[in-house]
Structure 1
Amino acid sequence: MSALPTPSASLLQLLPEAVVQTDALWAITYLNPAWHALTGHPLEAALGRSLLEFVHPDDVGTLRSGMPVFRLRFAAGDYRWVRLQLQPETDEAERVISRQGVLIEITEVTEQVLVEVRQRFLRLLETIDGVVWEAERGVGNTFLSPQVERLFGYTVEEWRADPGFWRAHVHPDDLAEALLIDEAAYNATHSYAYEMSYRLIAKCGKVVWVRDLCRAVVEPGRPNRMIGLMIDVTREKHTELELLRSDNRYALATLGSNDGIWDWDLRTDVMHVSERFRQIVGMGESDPVHHGGWHFLQQLIDPDDRARVQLAYRRHLSGNSPNFSVDFRAFHGSGRLVWVNWRGVAQFDDGVAVRMAGSLSDLAERGSSYDALTNLPGRPLFRARLAHAIALHRSESGDGVDMPARGGTTMFAVLLLDLNRFKAVNDSLGHHVGDQLLQQVARRLESCVRNVDLVARMSGDEFNLLLESIDPGEAAERARQIAAALEVPYMIGPHTVSSSASIGMVSSQSGLKTIDDYLRAADAAMYRAKSRSLGVCVAS
Structure 2
Amino acid sequence: MPPDSTLSGQLLQLLPEAVVQTDAQWTLTFLNPAWHKLTGHPLDGSLGRSLLDFVHPDDRGTVRSGMPVFRLRFADSDYRWVRLQLQAESDTAGRVLGRQGVLLEITEVTEQVLVEVRQRFLRLLETIDGVVWEAEFGVGNTFLSPQVERLFGYTVEEWRSDPGFWRSRVHPDDFEQARAIDDAAYRATHSYAYEMSYRLIAKDGATVWVRDLCRAIVEPGRPNRMIGLMIDVSRQKNTELELTQSDNRYALATRGSNDGIWDWDLRTDVLHASPRFHEIVGLGDIGNLHARGWTFLEQIIDVEDRKRVQAAYRRHLSGHCPNFSVDFRARHGSGRLIWVNWRGVARFEGGAAVRMAGSLSDLAERASSYDSLTNLPGRPLFRVRLEHAIALHQDGLRDGQAPDEATMFAVLMLDLDRFKAVNDSLGHHAGDQLLQQVARRLESSVRAADLVARTGGDEFNVLLEAVDLASATARARQIAAVLAAPYRIGPHTVASGASIGVVMSQPGLATTDDYLRAADAAMYQAKSRSLGVSVYPG
Fold shared per TM-score above 0.5: yes
Equivalent residue letter for 2:241: L
Structure 2: how far apart are the matches of 1:437 and 1:195? 69
**Does structure 1 conserve the Cα–Cα contact (< 8 Å) formed by 2:500 and 2:533?**
yes
Does residue 506 in structure 1 map to residue 501 in structure 2? Answer: yes
Question: Which protein shows a greater Rg?
Answer: 1
Number of matched pairs: 504
Q: Deviations over 1:58-101 (max 9, x none)?
A: 33323222122233333444433332222111111011112222
Deviation of the 1:209 alpha carbon = 2.2
Residue 350 of structure 1 corresponds to none
Residue 7 of structure 2 corresponds to 7
Structure 2: how far apart are the matches of 1:393 and 1:173? 58
Secondary structure of the 1:451 match is: helix
**Does structure 1 conserve the Cα–Cα contact (< 8 Å) formed by 2:82 and 2:106?**
yes
Deviation of the 1:137 alpha carbon = 0.9
Structure 2: how far apart are the matches of 1:24 and 1:215? 28
Equivalent residue letter for 1:364: A
Residue 308 of structure 2 corresponds to 312
User: Which ranges in structure 1 are unaligned for 5 or more consecutive residues?
Assistant: 265-270, 348-354
Deviation of the 1:136 alpha carbon = 0.8
**Does structure 2 conserve the Cα–Cα contact (< 8 Å) formed by 1:216 and 1:225?**
yes
Residue 350 of structure 2 corresponds to none
Residue 352 of structure 1 corresponds to none
Secondary structure of the 2:29 match is: strand
Deviation of the 1:140 alpha carbon = 1.2
**Does structure 1 conserve the Cα–Cα contact (< 8 Å) formed by 2:213 and 2:229?**
yes
Deviation of the 1:448 alpha carbon = 6.2
Structure 1: how far apart are the matches of 2:191 and 2:484? 85
Equivalent residue letter for 1:520: R
Equivalent residue letter for 1:212: D
Secondary structure of the 1:30 match is: strand
Secondary structure of the 1:180 match is: helix
Equivalent residue letter for 2:219: E
Structure 2: how far apart are the matches of 1:153 and 1:361? 48
Equivalent residue letter for 2:85: Q
Structure-2 change in CA distance of 1:537 and 1:106 (3 Å): closer
Alignment of 1:489-504 (within 5 A): 504=499
Structure 2: how far apart are the matches of 1:80 and 1:279? 70
Secondary structure of the 2:445 match is: coil
Secondary structure of the 2:143 match is: strand
**Does structure 2 conserve the Cα–Cα contact (< 8 Å) formed by 1:20 and 1:32?**
yes
Residue 463 of structure 1 corresponds to 459
Structure-2 change in CA distance of 1:263 and 1:67 (3 Å): closer
Percent of pairs with identical residues:
60
Residue 414 of structure 1 corresponds to 413
Q: Deviations over 1:285-316 (max 9, x none)?
A: 89999999899669xx7xxxx75x36634765
Deviation of the 1:505 alpha carbon = 3.2
Equivalent residue letter for 2:106: I
**Does structure 2 conserve the Cα–Cα contact (< 8 Å) formed by 1:411 and 1:509?**
yes
Secondary structure of the 2:66 match is: coil
Residue 445 of structure 2 corresponds to 452
Structure-2 change in CA distance of 1:419 and 1:65 (3 Å): same
**Does structure 2 conserve the Cα–Cα contact (< 8 Å) formed by 1:327 and 1:381?**
no
Residue 49 of structure 1 corresponds to 49
Residue 352 of structure 2 corresponds to none
**Does structure 2 conserve the Cα–Cα contact (< 8 Å) formed by 1:71 and 1:80?**
yes
Structure 2: how far apart are the matches of 1:357 and 1:62? 48
Secondary structure of the 1:238 match is: helix
Deviation of the 1:523 alpha carbon = 4.5
**Does structure 2 conserve the Cα–Cα contact (< 8 Å) formed by 1:371 and 1:377?**
yes
Structure-2 change in CA distance of 1:22 and 1:371 (3 Å): closer
Secondary structure of the 1:216 match is: strand
Alignment of 1:38-117 (within 5 A): 38-117=38-117
Deviation of the 1:388 alpha carbon = 8.0
Q: Deviations over 1:506-530 (max 9, x none)?
A: 2348989565456435655777799
Structure 1: how far apart are the matches of 2:237 and 2:224? 31
Structure-2 change in CA distance of 1:139 and 1:263 (3 Å): closer
Does residue 439 in structure 1 map to residue 432 in structure 2? Answer: yes
Residue 209 of structure 2 corresponds to 209
Question: Alignment partner for residue 520 of structure 1, among 507, 517, 520?
Answer: 517
Aligned-CA RMSD value: 5.4
Secondary structure of the 1:13 match is: helix
Residue 139 of structure 1 corresponds to 139
Structure 2: how far apart are the matches of 1:280 and 1:536? 40
Equivalent residue letter for 2:517: R
Structure 1: how far apart are the matches of 2:332 and 2:121? 63
Q: Deviations over 1:143-177 (max 9, x none)?
A: 22223223222222222111111111111112212
Moved more, 472-481 or 212-221: 472-481
Equivalent residue letter for 1:312: R
Structure-2 change in CA distance of 1:41 and 1:284 (3 Å): closer
Residue 325 of structure 1 corresponds to 326
Residue 378 of structure 1 corresponds to 378
User: Which ranges in structure 2 are unaligned for 5 or more consecutive residues?
Assistant: 265-270, 348-354, 396-400
TM-score, normalised via structure 2 length? 0.71
Residue 165 of structure 2 corresponds to 165
Structure-2 change in CA distance of 1:179 and 1:325 (3 Å): same
Structure 2: how far apart are the matches of 1:392 and 1:474? 22
Structure 1: how far apart are the matches of 2:248 and 2:307? 33
**Does structure 2 conserve the Cα–Cα contact (< 8 Å) formed by 1:414 and 1:506?**
yes
Residue 148 of structure 1 corresponds to 148
Deviation of the 1:331 alpha carbon = 8.3
